[in-house]
């Protein structure tokens, strides 16, 4: 049964922002209980993909299925119900700056459940323990380092035990240690809670170490996909340039421009 | 946390606003609150109302008993008609009462001075909607000066 | 033809902004209010927009009342009418200066802060993050701020007027020697509760709605960059001030003009 194996199923998706095409007919599947990585160079709208899955944006054509149910076709109230089963870790962490770390993590619980305050306390402390920040419960978000803020946000993202966690650039701008911590956490959460994860990133090495399946996006299309090993062996020049990080290749070093000599000679 | 402090301060803020409203009600706009009681209407025709305006006071010996409600021109004889609302506390004015347009101080506001008349047998009290017959118009400074000058010439 | 196209484009843009602003207002205020759940949030925001604006309101009110008494006295005393100082100070404060100056100060003090706060929440993806938590930011973030503004500003305007009248007393009576009895009694004889005080409060409530609405919308609609937020903050103050002054004329004409 293919339908039940995939938590998220994107079919022939096209999305434009103004006159710019972001995606041109892409299809990808996110199998249940696995870590799926979506990679690609900066500025091609990887975050947009997550917002499309979350229903914050609507595709111009194509369909996005969550448990076989079309997200763009949902009414707002249904969408809000479905969103409780997913959560998203934003690049900036997006902790609420006007409350403590503890209240941040308790927030979705207080909004969506009718749990007693002492049960909430237990849940929050357990979630904080799992990201190693129980000691930081009383701090304000402004007192946290970037890596700690992201871990706290991760604790908030798993507060309601979602089925799907979407990570938006979890490794961007992290030092090697916190990067290692995050890699370990993502893997651990996936294994212990059985959640499905989508990791959007351009940090090749880290993500290949934990991903079960990889998609590489460029030029509005999927240019390569497969398990990490398959992707490493991919014959496409573009994929290899991206994985190895060479400066020039199919993705040119230069932004499209007139010839240098001509530009310099131009009379102003 | 400090949410208790926040609540206290907001409470103090609301209390301050209520205090301000009370102060405005009692010390600043006392009059308006009182005149919300029951009233009845009287009319008076004047030759000239001078600077009388709507909401000008109607006073008996300096005590405000009512206000001018509207001023219009009688279409049949082109004289101003003043409609006054008088508090029901002051019901028993005889028909012989008179009204005059007066000025408080030399340049102050104009108001209607109400002089209760004597009551004899057979003289009824003023009722809602009655006209007061005995009226004295406003003093217009130009007319006064004119009279004074012409009066001297004719001597 | 170019200018015509630009005129058309800017008209369309203004209309669509107005549409989005209306959507924000309806989404926040009219669609399913949850007064019990949101009451603590409103109280918290009243602290931010109300209590924290108190000092500037009181100080400004005091000084404006004092200046008006000083100016009014020098004019009125020439006609021997310094007894009318009370009603002059009270009426100008209650009808005009109280609501208008409060709204302008509010726009500068609280409105700009609201815009910046909401704009920053947008820039740091906090609004997006609420959406993804299946919590409507219009109701959770915008609505309490809107209500707090609408409730707080008329209260601030009342305090402003009251303090201004006391300031007028301070200068007129205590310093310049106008008779205290006539300051209060002539004021009482002239000022009417419904005509003057309530109309001022109504004016202030209208200003409150408009200023807070502009503030939260500008934040919500801001381009989520530092440049976009600073532009939105400036626009909040400019648009709010213009809207307040324009509306003040319309409301004054409706309330006091037609007699």
Q: What is the pLDDT of residues C112-121, one digit of tens each?
A: 999 999 999 8
Nearest-5° Cα angle at A169, A166 to A170:
80
SS (H, E, C) chain C: CHHHHHHHHHHHHHHHHHHHHHHHHHHHHHCCCCHHHHHHHHHHHHHHHHHHHHHHHHHHHHHHHHHHHHHHHHHHHHHCCHHHHHHHHHHHHHHHHHHHHHHHHHHHHHHHHHHHHHHHHHHCCHHHHHHHCCCCHHHHHHHHHHHHHHHHHHHHHHHHHHHHHHHHHHHHHHHCCCCHHHHHHHHHHHCCHHHHHHHHHHHHHHHHHHHHHHHHHHHHCCCCCHHHHHHHHHHHHHHHHHHHHHHHHHHHHHHHHCC
pLDDT of A1 strictly over 60: no
Q: Would you state the structure tokens that stand for residue A137, as one six-digit string?
A: 């419960």
CA C197 – CA C94 distance, rounded (Å):
6
Q: How far is C49 from chain B (nearest CA, A)?
A: 10
B57: which chain C residues are within 8 Å (Cβ-Cβ)? 189
Least confident residue range of B111-120, B136-145, C78-87: B136-145
pLDDT score for A2: 44
Q: B35 pLDDT exceeds 60?
A: no
Q: Are the beta carbons of B32 and C191 separated by less than 8 Å?
A: yes
Cβ contact, residue pair C50, B13, below 8 Å: yes
Q: How far apart are CA B11 and CA A256, in angstroms?
A: 63
Q: What is the mean pLDDT of residues B82-108?
A: 81
Pick from B121-125, C62-66, C136-140: least confident: B121-125
C204-231 average pLDDT score: 93
Whether residue C256 lies within 8 A of chain B, CB to CB, comes out as no
**Distance from A146 to chain C by nearest Cα, in Å?**
13
For C15-44, the pLDDT digits (tens) are 988 998 888 888 887 766 666 777 888 898
Q: Which of A118-127, B38-47, C186-195 has the lowest mean pLDDT?
A: C186-195
Distance from C-alpha of A238 to C-alpha of B41, rounded to nearest angstrom:
94
Q: C193 vs B57: CB contact, 8 Å cut-off?
A: no
Is the pLDDT score of B1 beyond 50?
Answer: no
Size of interface A-C (CB pairs under 8 A): 45
Residue extents of the structural domains in chain C? 34-252
Taking CB atoms and an 8 Å limit, are C46 and B13 in contact across chains? yes
**Chain B within 8 Å of C205 (Cβ-Cβ)?**
no
pLDDT tens for residues A67-85? 888 888 888 888 888 888 8
pLDDT at C238: 95
Q: Which residues of C touch A51 (CB under 8 A)?
A: 128
Average pLDDT of every residue of chain A: 81
ipTM of the complex: 0.81
Nearest CA in chain A to C124: A94
Q: Which of C45, C119, C132 to mutate to test the interface with A (most CBs of A within 10 A)?
A: C132
pLDDT at B33: 41
Indicate the pLDDT class of residue B32, thresholds 50, 70 and 90: very low
pLDDT in tens, A164-189: 888 888 887 777 887 888 888 888 88
Mean pLDDT score, B15-33: 78
Of A90, A108, A112, the CB nearest to C128: A90
B127, pLDDT greater than 60: yes
CB contact under 8 Å between A88 and C132, yes or no, is: yes
Give pLDDT, residue A44.
72
Q: Are the beta carbons of C134 and A92 separated by less than 8 Å?
A: no
Neighbours of chain A (3+ CB pairs under 8 A): C
Longest CA pairwise span in chain B (Å): 93
């Amino acid at each position: 049964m293919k339908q039940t194996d995939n938590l998220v199923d994107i079919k022939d998706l096209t999305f434009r922002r103004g006159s710019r095409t972001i995606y041109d007919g892409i299809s990808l599947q996110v199998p249940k209980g696995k870590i799926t990585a979506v990679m690609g160079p900066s500025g091609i709208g990887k975050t947009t993909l997550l917002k499309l899955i979350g229903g914050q944006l609507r595709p111009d054509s194509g369909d996005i299925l969550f448990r076989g149910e079309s997200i763009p076709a949902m009414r707002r109230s249904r969408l809000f119900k479905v969103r409780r089963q997913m959560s998203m870790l934003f690049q900036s962490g997006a902790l609420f700056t006007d409350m403590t770390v503890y209240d941040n993590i308790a927030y979705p619980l207080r909004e969506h459940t009718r749990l007693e305050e002492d049960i909430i306390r237990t849940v929050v402390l357990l979630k904080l323990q799992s990201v190693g920040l129980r000691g930081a419960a009383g701090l304000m978000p402004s007192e946290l380092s970037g890596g700690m803020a992201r871990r706290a946000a991760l604790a908030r993202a798993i507060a309601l035990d979602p089925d799907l966690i979407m990570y938006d650039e979890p490794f961007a701008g992290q030092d090697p240690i916190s990067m290692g911590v995050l890699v370990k956490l993502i893997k651990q959460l996936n294994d212990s809670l059985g959640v499905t994860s989508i990791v959007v990133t351009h940090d090749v090495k880290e993500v290949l170490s934990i991903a079960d399946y990889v998609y590489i996006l460029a030029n509005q299309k999927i240019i390569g996909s497969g398990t990490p090993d398959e992707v490493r062996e991919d014959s496409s020049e573009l994929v290899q340039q991206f994985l190895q990080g060479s400066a020039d290749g199919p993705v040119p070093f230069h932004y499209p421009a007139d010839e240098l000599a001509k530009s310099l000679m131009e009379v102003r | 946390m400090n949410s208790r402090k926040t609540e206290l301060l907001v409470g103090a803020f609301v209390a301050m606003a209520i205090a301000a409203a009370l102060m405005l009600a009692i010390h600043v706009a006392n009059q308006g609150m009182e005149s919300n009681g029951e009233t009845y209407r009287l009319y008076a025709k004047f030759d000239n109302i001078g600077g009388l305006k709507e909401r000008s006071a109607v006073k008996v010996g300096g005590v405000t008993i009512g206000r001018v409600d509207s001023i219009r021109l009688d279409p049949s004889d082109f004289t101003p008609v003043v409609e006054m609302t008088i508090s029901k506390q002051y019901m028993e004015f005889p028909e012989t009462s008179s009204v005059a347009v007066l000025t408080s101080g030399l340049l102050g506001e104009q108001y209607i001075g109400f002089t209760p008349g004597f009551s004899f047998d057979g003289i009824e009290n003023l009722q809602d909607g009655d006209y007061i017959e005995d009226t004295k118009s406003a003093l217009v400074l130009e007319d006064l000066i004119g009279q004074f000058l012409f009066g001297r010439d004719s001597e | 033809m170019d200018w015509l196209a630009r005129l058309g484009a800017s008209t369309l843009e203004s209309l669509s902004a107005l549409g989005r602003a209306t959507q924000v207002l309806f989404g926040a205020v009219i669609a399913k209010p949850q007064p019990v759940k949101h009451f603590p949030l409103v109280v918290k925001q009243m602290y931010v927009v109300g209590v924290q604006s108190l000092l500037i309101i009181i100080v400004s009110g005091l000084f404006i009342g004092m200046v008006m008494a000083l100016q009014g006295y020098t004019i009125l005393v020439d006609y021997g009418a310094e007894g009318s100082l009370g009603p002059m100070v009270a009426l100008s404060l209650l009808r005009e200066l109280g609501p208008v100056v409060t709204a302008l100060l509010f726009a500068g003090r609280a409105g700009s802060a609201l815009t910046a706060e909401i704009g920053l929440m947008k820039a740091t993806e906090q609004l997006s993050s609420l959406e993804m938590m299946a919590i409507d930011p219009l109701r959770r973030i915008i609505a309490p701020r809107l209500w707090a503004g609408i409730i707080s500003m008329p209260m601030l305007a009342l305090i402003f007027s009251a303090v201004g009248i006391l300031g007028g007393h301070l200068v007129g009576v205590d310093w310049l020697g106008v008779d205290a009895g006539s300051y209060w009694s002539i004021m009482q004889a002239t000022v009417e509760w419904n005509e003057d005080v309530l109309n001022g409060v109504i004016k202030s409530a209208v200003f409150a709605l408009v200023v807070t609405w502009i503030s939260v919308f500008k934040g919500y609609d801001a381009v989520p960059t530092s440049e976009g937020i600073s532009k939105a903050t400036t626009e909040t103050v400019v648009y709010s001030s213009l809207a307040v002054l324009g509306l003040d004329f319309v409301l004054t004409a409706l309330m006091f003009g037609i007699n």
